Amino acid sequence: MNIVTKISDWQALRKTLANKTIGFVPTMGYLHAGHMSLCARSRQENDLTVASIFVNPTQFNQAEDFQSYPRNNEADIALLTAHQVDYLFLPEADMMYPDGYEVRVTEDQVSQLLEGAHRPGHFTGMLTVVLKLLNLLQPTQAYFGEKDYQQLLLIRKMVSALFLPVKINACETMRAADGLALSSRNARLTPAQRLQAAHFPRLLQSELNAAQITAELISLGFKVDYIMDQWQRRLGAVSLGDIRLIDNVVRV
């Protein structure tokens, strides 16, 4: 696997790949089987696969959350190499934001709901960095997990509105044996919290209504930001201690 850390190096390299289809898997690192499933699909559907690792500071609402976000580049590189990813783009924040984050991408409808209501500015940071990555890497296709369903909707909306020449692919949420959606933040759960966390997907998938699920989660010790039916999905966000979990399930 080739690791590229400088934007200018990638831009020069990209010119040599003009006749190749490129699949792109953007990540914030601390990779798990969910990320690898995206890479596997990209490898099946493209000549080359590029992953990125960039813990994007502009989409964190609290500095403590950014600082405590789990990181392990050495393990991530080993995992990507084992899964035969062709390129890793690994930039620094000052490279991605040479303007000091003065130019931003905003959306004022979908981004105001759910996650947007509880994390002001989060989606502006996310859309801004995704646009930068898509412009830099110029992939044929990009792959995003359905766990972050609202994020997926916003990326598709941005790509359509700005006429970006990339296909956005949604990939099914990968889950642990007890149903918990795989997430890098799961690594921060204590053993007791990890057992408790399995109640979250169980209740989301139950026949209870949103209010009943909320009450049950609170009784089990969760802090609940929202449980809501939207976009033919039931979406939820909860916290155990200072660790926030999000998930969604299809509702027909």
Query: Which positions are catalytic?
Result: 35
d(CA 181, CA 120): 24
CB 204 within 8 A of CB 187: no
d(CA 4, CA 15): 14
Other Cβ atoms within 10 Å of 183 Cβ, number: 24
CA distance 99 to 113: 28
Burial of 15 (0-12, 13-18, 19+ CB in 10 A): exposed
Closest CA relative to residue 25, chosen from 80, 69, 70, 71: 80
Q: Which residues pair with 181 in a beta bridge?
A: 175
How far apart CA 135 and CA 162 sit, in angstroms, is: 11
Distance separating alpha carbons of residues 147 and 129, to the nearest angstrom: 19
Q: Which of 44, 48, 25, 20 is nearest to 36 (CA)?
A: 25
